[in-house]
Structure 1
Amino acid sequence: VPPTSQKLAKLLFDGTQMVTDIQVAADLREMQRRAEEAELKLQRVEKLENEAKSSTNKMEEIISKWVLAKEMRILQELWQLLSQQQQQCTLLLEAKNKLISDLQQDLKTRDEQYEQAIQKQSDDIYLLLERMEEQIRHMLKSYRHELLQIEKAFELEQQELRNNSRKKWEEAIRAHNAQELEHLHARMRKVEEFEEQLSQLQVQDEEEYNSMKRQMENDVQNLEKQIEHMKAIYRLNQEKLEHNLQVLKKRNEENTIIRSQQKRKLKRLHGLLSNLRTKLASQEKRFREENQGLTADYKRFTKQCKEMQRRMRHFAVSDAEQFTEIWLMNEKEAKGLMRKAFDADCIIHTQQLGLPWEEPQYWFLNNVGPIRSYKTKTVTKMIAEILTVGSGKGGKQPTPKTEDRATPLQNIPKKTAKRILELMSNELDFLIERKVLRSLIILGRHERTHKKLTSIFEALKINTGDDLCQLLDFFLKYKAQDVAASQ
């Protein structure tokens, strides 16, 4: 195959070179023609430029003489000038005509050259086509020859492959036949073994069949007995069902009578229901009207109540302001009197007795406005005061300070308040944490009660004296209601 490829490549190269030689020659001629054309074009342009310059000079000369003609007065001189001008114009036109004829001759020559070039190109094309056809014929001939050689080579290879395949096939057939023969002998041996096993199974199956047959006959007899028994039960059940059917028919008749009675009763109840609905509608209408009237009264009373509350708040504020003003006025007057008393006491001590005098410090001198110390008093102090009632040391109750003379419990007796607090301490242990309860065991009864009440009030969010007073007042009111209910 490689020599064939090289030969074909050489033929293709030679043919291509023959074709390209014509193209190269044509390109060379075209280059020469273009070079000559460029040279002729330069000559022609130079000639035209020279002609244009000479024509321009002549025209200027002619035009300048026309200016002189305007100044001439002698007819003979003017005639001579005109003759000269005419001759110069004729010479100029002849030069132009000669140039035109030269250009026309050149154009004609170029046309002839163009026709010759066209003819030459046509000859080259014909030659190129002939060479291409000849190359195609040579290539086809070479390709056919090479194709025949390749086909012969393929046929030889195919023949060799067929021979080799036939040999392999014969060997495989012989091996397969030997293997099949071995399988046949093995199958025959297995068939003999299976026949022996089959004979044994037949004997065994006959024995099993006989035993099963006897068992099935016994089962058939038992089933026949059961069938007879079931028939007797069936007849008995049939009689029972007939009796039940008669009973159900009688009950159905009774139910029909009861249903008719219930229908009549239902009609009567429907009539009663319609009457009740009518009454209900009338009562609802009446109640609605009453409700509207009561609603209007409620709104009116609510408005009056709000107006009354507004007036009460207004009067309370005005009374409080008036009380505060009177208090401040009296307080100012009292403080003035105290100041005068202090001045008199100072004069008596210093001037009359000759003793040093110190101004006493009283809390009310620094106070401005009504005293409301019970509102700011802490719950802890109030609990301590209430628990000390009736339990003072030596049978004496502790004397309250001057600034605490205002009673924080309002109208609640301290003994009653103490009793309520002791009950709360005993009954509300579940509000106290277990760790706190365990730590209170080692304390005395008074301190333990005080600590327990403090923890309970912290859990209930009771932080001021007002809250404590409200709580005690609630218990008293609840007790009064309970007593009234029991009576």
Structure 2
Amino acid sequence: GKSKQQTQKSRKYIESTKVCDSEMVTNIRVNILIREAARRAEEFLKSKQWTKKKDEEEKISNELNSQINEKWENLFETKGPFRLFKMLKEQQEACKKLTENKDKLINEYISELKQKEDFYVKELEREAEEIDLLLERMDQQYHTFRDTLQQEIDQIEKAYMTERTELIEKNINEINELYDIRRQKEEQYEKDRAERVDDQMKSLETLRVNDSDEYTSVKIKLEVDVQVLEQQLQQMRATYQLNTEKLEYNYQVLNKREEENIAILTSQKRKITRLSDIINVLHNKINNQDKQFNQENQSLNEDFKRISEQFKGLQKKFRHFQICNKIKFKNIWKMNEEKTHELMHTLLQADRVISEQQLGLEWKSENDDLFAVLDPLLFQNLVDDETNPESKEDYLKNEGSIKDIISRNDSLTLKYKEKKGINAKMRKIFEMLCVELEFLVDDKLLKLLEPLDENEQALMKLDSIFKALDVNTIQDIETLATYFMASNNVDLNSEYKQYIDNINNKLQSIEGGGSSNQNSLKHNSRIRTRSHTVSQNMNKKKSNNDENSINETEKNKLSNKAYEQIQKDYWERMTNIIDDKRYRLWKVVFFSMQKYNKLLSERMGLAEDIKFIKEQNNELKALLRQYMNAKVNEELEVPPTQIMLAQAGILR
């Protein structure tokens, strides 16, 4: 439903907002890690340099020590004070040179420690600034994410309310339909009861009991349906209560809405009570009318009434079920066609998203006729076949009313009005058709149209006239309108001839498929004969007789095999909505998105490794801090802390 779609859409939007804000926060951590990696590389190089210096100094010190030791051995063998003084001076200079090298290395270590201390202080300041920036971005992320959640929650709540309103309206309509069905069954029951009164006076009480049982079962069924609807209403209320628990901060608002729902439920119960009272009043009226009908029908002929009414009832049932089956086929066809169009829309929407959002290309539909529905001629015979004007009248009566037919939006005139609009010139043409071609309308249909207003009468007359003239599409209406316009009379014949030639060519190509429905031709023969005059003027063939016009209309009826071929082409056209080229493009996009997903997964793994190393560093720092603060250090003569402070130059 709309609520689920809005919830999924909100989840995607919240996730995208969360990812964007998280990237802003993680950018700071990435910069810190990059700078730390550079520092470690620099420290590694410096460590190598210090190791090299230390090795060189150690090598020089060893050489000087060896020289000094050798001179000490020579010193003990030396004789004479001046020679001894000179050698002692040389030993003193060699020792001084050795100590100078040591002091130089120590001074370099001390200067390096001071630089490290300054760098550490600067790093602390920079870390404080980055932490402040991180806190600022986290606060900004929190406020942004909170606003996003609030907006999406409002959208989800709005979608749920819209869906709730639609469900309530749907339940009300179903209840009204159930009451209509109940009324129709009661009327049929009363008619059957009136038919059997004169023939079965002795068993009248038994029949009343049986009919009362039937009425009770119908009433129980309707009451069960009402209880089911009430249970559904309770389930919907439970669903909204669950959503209330999930959205705690909107608890007060939803409580108010719950009160409104309770008020609506109370009003509905009052309405049901009021309708029940009306039904009881109607039952009393029906009982009074039953008594009156019984008194009026006692004088009728029992045998003739029973046999004739049973025969007529059997005919009506046969025609009713025959027409209902064909109407059901038409409705099932439309339902499957709508589902197919929805799937095609989904495929085209996916292709448009891939082209525009993933590839950045301009998208346009290559097949504009994919969603074109089948010609209404395919379903025309579903109602007309094996019926006569009398069965059509019964069908209209059983179907409800003419207004119900208009409300189903099957009128060709309404379709033309919605697409093209009706200007003053077309209005005059339609009025002229209603007046001049009224003889094409069936007489019984005219009687049915008498209770309606003028607009609805004109609408049904135009549909009947268009059907008699084989005008089945909006283009046919425009072609017919050009006949009545003075400026277009010259080009009319050529256009109409071309239109007829196209139909004849199509009929010749499928001529082997079968013949047209003869029952429909017999049913429409009277209307076709009258409409021949109009077709004769449009084609300027005044010499054609009534038989030629009937033959021409017979060609306009497609055969059964032609219907099957058109349906086959129609479904094959739908299967080719995505061609091979576009499908290969989808595969390439899918492969690229897989590579991109793999890259993101690797990046996520590296981020987790960095996080793990950072945690290890924190643990090592904590362990070092624990060792430095241990009580064992106080018991040592030279604690490690004093050595580190001395090396840093803090203690002398």
Answer whether TM exceeds 0.5 for this pair: no
TM range (shorter): 0.3 to 0.5
TM-score (norm 2): 0.27
